[in-house]
Chains A and B, each alone.
Chain A
Amino acid sequence: MKIKVNGKEMDIDREITLSDLLERLDIIPRGIAVEVNREIVPKSLYGEKVIKAGDIIEIVRMVGGG
């Protein structure tokens, strides 16, 4: 099934949790925020939130800026 993460298409074999997705992407869930279909998922729910086909996911963090 196809999902979109930070503008890039990704293929995952089955429905997984957001925690699993972050682990697959090698992203440590520290100092990040995640939106699934424009809804922010609180950090406490990463283990419960199930990623489904067609989901659009944005993962952000802080970078240098003024």
Chain B
Amino acid sequence: MNTIEANSVVMKKLLIFTVVMFAFGFALVPFYEKICEVTGLNNLLQADTLAENPQVDTTRWVTVELDANIQGLPWQFKPLQSSLRVHPGELVEVMYEVKNNSDREINGQAIPSYSPQLLAKHLKKLECFCFSKQVLKPNETRQMPVQFVIESGLPTDVNTVTISYTFFELAGANAANLVTKTNQS
């Protein structure tokens, strides 16, 4: 094999490698989501199922703080209680209230976030307003429940956690994208 051929073989290999790495950049997105899902960091928009017979650990208390944020839409959004104490394994329901202050109909999507982050792995939400978009008519007020269980797998040194939601306006592409994402998962 002469040099020119040898060179073009190397070049082809490297070009293929380049393309693979470019694709890898994009593959990092689902990969990242997968990691978050496996570690439970990001299991956001779907209902969880509970183990058959969850054991309630009455020897432990976990303080759950509730938080609400809105970003860029004319709503008011707050939990009806700021915090509560629960036992791991216990099924609890909390209420959030949202109000549309504007005179137009608005689609909103709530995105949850947890602190400490590892809570995500141990929080099972059976019902949540974040599973679907919320459409609020002008000046409509709505109370929405969240039903969840904090699994007893939560490390014992964690006894205070925060569940936070941020409402974003769903408009155009955001809406379409999220709907497909939710459907896939």
A joins B in a complex: no
Contact surface of A with B, Cβ cutoff 8 Å:
none
Contact surface of B with A, Cβ cutoff 8 Å:
none
